[in-house]
């Protein structure tokens, strides 16, 4: 290169020569710069090649004829491992031949890679596609970018990355979300999940039903806008429940709230609110689980009622026992008095009325027991007509409502528990009376019917007494008609909802049935069906003063001194010798002594229940061991006790229900002594 010093030290040149020399100097300088640029390009090329050849992505080039012109080492090694038969022939192989090779199966998401390539060639835009490629024993998901070589325009650079793990994670996440969606849809509780901002991200079907919001409308809304609650007692709105989680590390449970739906409907709920935290314990949202507890509350209230009723039942049992003991003394003495006066005496009628009142008092006691405990019917042959007339008259005592009756004299007899069926009639008549607060008429009718399969009644075919109680009152709305026999269902402000439920239960225990028809504003009619019997019962209630006279030795066991005294007087009146015991232990002792002395008791009358001592149920087991032929009669004021209806299962030979008089005791003993 010629510098200025060299030029200045040489001889002088012409202008042309000088310009030529300057041009040469400029060219030499440009050549030096070009060499430096080429060196930089070579260095960059080496760097790019090193990057491409060391990349863990699959990099390849496809020309405009769709032939593979380049594959980086990682792609070639992968090909040698998965498709060894094709690996040596990949460079220069047309792409369609590669895709149709026997060892390769390619599944595209939405479009074919050929179309992707053509689009890249035509538009010059980059294209991304995800493809599932299966080799003989290996399957991978490839995420591929197709990048046109802009400087040439006739080739495509492909960069493919193995995204199998990512796709697996996505698939697992999708399945997890599907399982979560199924779980949310199938559980019986409402679920609302929110993000860290308090906006809803998940909302199941139960939440839709309770809130009235549709899922697509609720998603994205603040929880407080959808989950609107008030305090059950104060009815004051409750602040956004998510605020209660601000200082909480664990779930919180809240009760006593009412959820206000879009329609304004209120639902009693309880809910659990829990934070959602990431692996680093950072809050990422919350989940709200709530449920309708209205039925649960109802069940709890019914349980409380049942517990109260159980307490009432215990109280009623005690009252019935004591009261029936008193009535036994009254009735026994009344029947003794009737036997000892002249039959045409005017006092006889008064004593009969008093005895009838005692029997009514007994029925009332039995009603209390039936109300509180149910009870197995103690059936006797009875006149349905007499029960209907007397029960209706008693129920309407003091009422201004008119009652008409249409009951034929030929009405069949029935075998029923008189006290329970009387309670049924009274319940129906009282309900009819209440349905007509401004007065009206109750029409009671009865007739003989034969039930056949075509009648579609839940009864066995046969003869029945049909009783109808009809009023002209307000009627029962149709939505309530199917619930009138449900326990605790009532439309009365102070009603218990037990009257008709007890009625239904009694009819079922008598193998009968009861139905109801009603029309609002017109009235209601209840239909009763009681199985009829071929036996004939007297129509009039009147004490039958037995002329039965007995002889023998009777043991009476009862804890009540008045009962013992009354029973002794009755038994002596009809000819028996009597021994008395206060409890089962004393009765067993006396019975053993009688066997040893050769004066065996001909019969034993045992009180079923002895408070604080051995009662009849326990004592008979011992007596039967001592003497299997012992004739033991059970006596109790607990007429609803199962032992009284199935006495034979416990070893007793018969029963006598308190209160009893001369006639009942005489007839029972006469029957027992004949066995």
Weakly modelled stretches of the chain, pLDDT under 70: 1-13, 38, 40-42, 44-45, 109-114, 116-117, 150-153, 183, 244-249, 278-281, 298-299, 301-318, 320-321, 342-344, 363-376, 487-499, 537-550, 638-641
CB atoms closer than 10 angstroms to residue 317: 19
List the one residue out of 185, 103, 171 whose CA is nearest residue 141.
171
The pLDDT score that the predictor gives to residue 542 is: 41
DSSP string over 161-188: EE-HHHHHHHHHHHHHHHHHHHHHHHSS
In this prediction, residue 541 carries a pLDDT of 42
- Whether the CB-CB separation of 604 and 580 falls below 8 Å is answered with no
From its phi and psi, is residue 536 left (phi > 0), alpha (psi between -120 and 50) or beta? beta
Six-digit token string for 424? 């049924």
| DSSP assignment string, 59-83 | EEEEETTSBEEEE-HHHHHHHHHH-
DSSP codes, 341-407 = S-TTSHHHHHHHHHHHHHHHHHHHHHHHHHHHH------EEE-HHHHHHHHHHHHTTT---EEEEE-
* Pick from 589, 449, 472, 454: nearest CA to 532: 449
pTM of the model: 0.45
Alpha-carbon distance of 633 to 556, in angstroms, equals 10
CA distance 432 to 468: 12
User: How does DSSP classify residue 199?
Assistant: B
Q: What is the mean pLDDT of the chain?
A: 80
CA geometry: angle 150, 152, 156, nearest 5 deg: 70
Are the C-beta atoms of residues 573 and 339 closer than 8 Å to each other? yes
Residues 170, 262 contacting (CB under 8 angstroms): no
Q: Tell me the longest C-alpha to C-alpha distance in the chain.
A: 187
Q: Quick check: 363 and 327 in contact, CB under 8 A?
A: no
CA angle 532, 371, 650 (to 5 degrees): 70
Q: Compute the distance between CA of residue 112 and CA of residue 99 in angstroms, rounded to an integer.
A: 10
Q: Which strands, in side-by-side order, build the sheet including 632-636?
A: 577-581, 553-557, 603-607, 632-636, 654-657
Residues 444/448/453/456 CA torsion (nearest 10 deg): 0
Q: What size, in residues, is the chain?
A: 675
Q: Across the strands, what pairs with 190?
A: 290
- Going by C-beta distance under 8 Å and a sequence separation of 6 or more, which residues neighbour residue 265? 212
Q: How far apart are CA 239 and CA 228, in angstroms?
A: 9
Residue 314's φ and ψ, nearest 5 degrees, are -65, -45
Rounded to an integer, what distance in angstroms lies between the CA atom of residue 524 and that of residue 301?
30
Give the DSSP H or E segment for 29.
helix 15-54
Q: Which of 75, 74, 73 is nearest to 98 (CA)?
A: 75
Q: What pLDDT is attached to residue 349?
A: 75
Question: CA-to-CA distance for 83 and 90, rounded, in angstroms?
Answer: 10
H or E element, residue 533: strand 523-533
Neighbours of 426 (CB within 10 A): 22
Eight-class DSSP state of 602: S
């Amino acid at each position: 290169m010629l510098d200025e010093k060299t030029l200045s030290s040489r001889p002088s040149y012409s202008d042309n020569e000088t310009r030529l020399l300057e041009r040469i100097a400029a060219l030499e300088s440009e050549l030096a710069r070009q060499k430096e640029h080429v060196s930089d390009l070579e260095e960059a090329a080496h760097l790019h090649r090193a990057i491409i050849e060391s990349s863990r992505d699959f990099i390849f080039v496809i020309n405009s004829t769709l032939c593979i012109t380049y594959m980086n080492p990682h792609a070639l090694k992968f090909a040698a491992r998965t498709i060894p038969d094709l690996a040596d022939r990949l460079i220069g192989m047309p792409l369609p031949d590669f895709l149709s090779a026997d060892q390769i199966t390619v599944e595209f998401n939405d479009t074919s890679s050929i179309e992707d390539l053509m689009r890249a060639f035509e538009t010059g835009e980059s294209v991304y596609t995800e493809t599932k490629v299966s080799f003989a024993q290996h399957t991978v998901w490839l995420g591929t970018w197709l990048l046109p070589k802009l400087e040439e325009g006739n080739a495509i650079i492909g960069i493919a990355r193995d995204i199998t793990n990512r796709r697996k994670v996505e698939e697992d996440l999708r399945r997890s979300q599907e399982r979560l969606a199924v779980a949310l849809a199938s559980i019986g509780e409402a679920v609302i999940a929110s993000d860290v901002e308090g906006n809803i991200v998940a909302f199941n079907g139960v939440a839709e039903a309770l809130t009235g919001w549709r899922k697509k409308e609720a998603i994205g809304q603040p929880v407080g806008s959808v989950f609107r609650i008030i305090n059950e007692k104060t009815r004051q709105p409750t602040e956004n429940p998510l605020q209660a989680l601000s200082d909480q590390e664990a779930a919180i449970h809240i009760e006593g709230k009412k959820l206000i739906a879009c329609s304004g409907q209120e639902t009693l709920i309880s809910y659990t609110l829990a934070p959602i935290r990431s692996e680093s314990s950072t809050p990422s949202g919350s989940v709200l689980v709530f449920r309708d507890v209205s039925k649960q509350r109802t069940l709890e209230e019914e349980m409380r009622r049942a517990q109260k009723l159980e307490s009432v039942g215990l109280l009623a049992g005690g009252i019935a026992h004591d009261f029936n003991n008193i009535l036994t003394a009254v009735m026994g003495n009344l029947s003794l008095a009737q036997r000892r006066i002249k039959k045409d005496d005017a006092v006889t009628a008064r004593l009969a009325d008093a005895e009838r009142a005692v029997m009514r008092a007994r029925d009332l006691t039995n009603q209390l027991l039936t109300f509180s405990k149910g009870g197995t019917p103690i059936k006797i042959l009875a006149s349905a007509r007499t029960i209907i007339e007397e029960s209706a008259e008693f129920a309407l005592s003091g009422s201004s409502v008119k009652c008409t009756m249409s009951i034929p004299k030929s009405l069949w007899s029935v075998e029923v528990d008189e006290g329970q069926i009387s309670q049924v009639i009274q319940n129906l008549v009282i309900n009819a009376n209440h349905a007509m607060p401004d007065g009206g008429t109750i029409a009671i009718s009865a007739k003989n019917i034969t039930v056949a399969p075509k009648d579609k009644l839940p009864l066995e075919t046969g003869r029945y007494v049909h009783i109808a109680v009809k009023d002209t009152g307000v009627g029962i709305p149709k939505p309530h008609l199917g619930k009138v026999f449900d326990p605790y269902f009532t439309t009365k402000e102070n009603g218990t909802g037990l009257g008709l439920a007890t009625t239904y239960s009694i009819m079922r225990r008598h193998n009968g049935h009861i139905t109801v028809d009603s029309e609002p504003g017109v009235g209601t009619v209840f239909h009763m069906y009681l199985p009829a019997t071929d036996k004939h019962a007297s129509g009039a209630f009147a004490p039958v003063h037995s002329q039965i006279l007995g002889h023998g030795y009777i043991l009476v066991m009862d804890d009540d001194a008045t009962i013992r005294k009354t029973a002794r007087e009755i038994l002596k009146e009809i000819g028996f010798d009597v021994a008395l015991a206060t409890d089962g232990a004393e009765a067993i002792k006396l019975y053993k002594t009688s066997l040893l002395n050769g004066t065996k008791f001909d019969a034993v009358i045992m009180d079923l229940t002895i408070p604080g001592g051995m009662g009849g149920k326990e004592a008979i087991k011992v007596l039967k061991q001592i003497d299997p032929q012992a004739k033991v009669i059970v006596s109790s004021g607990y007429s609803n006790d199962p032992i009284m209806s199935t006495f034979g299962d416990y070893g007793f030979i018969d029963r006598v229900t308190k209160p009893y008089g001369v006639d009942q005791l005489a007839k029972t003993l006469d029957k027992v002594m004949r066995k």
